[in-house]
Amino acid sequence: MVDTNAGTNTNTVQVDPKLLEILVCPLTKGPLDYDPAAQELISKQAGLAYPIRDGIPIMLADEARQLDGT
Protein backbone atom coordinates (compact mmCIF):
# COMPACT_ATOMS: atom_id res chain seq x y z
CA MET A 1 0.00 0.00 0.00
CA VAL A 2 2.94 2.29 0.55
CA ASP A 3 5.76 2.17 -1.99
CA THR A 4 9.25 3.47 -1.40
CA ASN A 5 11.14 4.64 -4.45
CA ALA A 6 13.52 1.72 -4.88
CA GLY A 7 16.67 2.60 -6.75
CA THR A 8 16.74 6.22 -5.61
CA ASN A 9 18.70 7.89 -2.86
CA THR A 10 15.73 9.77 -1.42
CA ASN A 11 13.53 8.81 1.50
CA THR A 12 10.39 9.89 -0.34
CA VAL A 13 7.47 7.54 0.12
CA GLN A 14 4.58 7.34 -2.30
CA VAL A 15 1.29 6.71 -0.51
CA ASP A 16 -1.19 4.61 -2.46
CA PRO A 17 -4.23 6.75 -3.34
CA LYS A 18 -6.48 3.84 -2.35
CA LEU A 19 -4.98 3.95 1.14
CA LEU A 20 -5.77 7.67 1.37
CA GLU A 21 -9.38 6.90 0.47
CA ILE A 22 -9.60 4.47 3.40
CA LEU A 23 -7.64 6.33 6.09
CA VAL A 24 -9.37 9.02 8.12
CA CYS A 25 -8.37 11.13 11.08
CA PRO A 26 -8.91 9.03 14.22
CA LEU A 27 -10.27 12.08 16.08
CA THR A 28 -12.60 13.70 13.55
CA LYS A 29 -13.13 10.81 11.11
CA GLY A 30 -12.47 13.43 8.42
CA PRO A 31 -10.31 13.11 5.30
CA LEU A 32 -6.54 13.36 5.28
CA ASP A 33 -4.23 15.13 2.84
CA TYR A 34 -0.83 13.68 2.00
CA ASP A 35 2.20 15.99 2.30
CA PRO A 36 5.04 14.17 0.51
CA ALA A 37 7.69 16.75 1.45
CA ALA A 38 7.01 16.42 5.19
CA GLN A 39 6.01 12.73 5.01
CA GLU A 40 2.80 13.45 6.92
CA LEU A 41 -0.92 12.90 6.62
CA ILE A 42 -2.70 16.18 7.38
CA SER A 43 -6.06 16.48 9.13
CA LYS A 44 -7.21 20.04 8.48
CA GLN A 45 -10.28 19.52 10.69
CA ALA A 46 -8.22 18.46 13.72
CA GLY A 47 -5.26 20.71 12.92
CA LEU A 48 -2.91 17.74 13.19
CA ALA A 49 -0.21 16.16 11.03
CA TYR A 50 0.26 12.41 11.44
CA PRO A 51 3.81 11.24 10.63
CA ILE A 52 4.73 8.53 8.16
CA ARG A 53 7.70 6.55 9.47
CA ASP A 54 9.42 3.90 7.37
CA GLY A 55 6.43 3.97 5.03
CA ILE A 56 3.92 3.37 7.83
CA PRO A 57 1.34 6.04 8.73
CA ILE A 58 1.32 6.55 12.51
CA MET A 59 -2.35 7.28 13.20
CA LEU A 60 -2.04 8.09 16.90
CA ALA A 61 -3.11 11.52 18.15
CA ASP A 62 -0.28 11.44 20.69
CA GLU A 63 2.25 11.10 17.85
CA ALA A 64 0.69 13.83 15.68
CA ARG A 65 2.17 17.29 15.29
CA GLN A 66 -0.02 20.34 15.93
CA LEU A 67 -0.33 22.42 12.75
CA ASP A 68 0.72 26.05 12.81
CA GLY A 69 -2.14 28.52 13.22
CA THR A 70 -4.52 26.12 14.96
pLDDT digit string, tens, across residues 18-48 = 988 999 999 999 999 999 999 999 999 999 9
Task: Write down the pTM of the prediction.
Answer: 0.78
Res. 10: pLDDT tops 80: no
- Of the listed ranges 11-15, 30-34, 36-40, 56-60, the least confidently predicted one is 11-15
Give me the pLDDT at residue 33, please.
95
Nearest to 34 by CA among 3, 13, 61: 13
Give me the pLDDT at residue 60, please.
98
Contact 70, 19 (CB under 8 A): no
Looking at the chain, list the stretches that DSSP marks H as alpha helix, in order from N- to C-terminal side. 17-22
Amino acid found at 44 = K
**Rounded-to-10 torsion of CA 28, 30, 34, 39:** 10
Q: What is the mean pLDDT of residues 2-22?
A: 67
Domain boundaries, the chain: 39-69
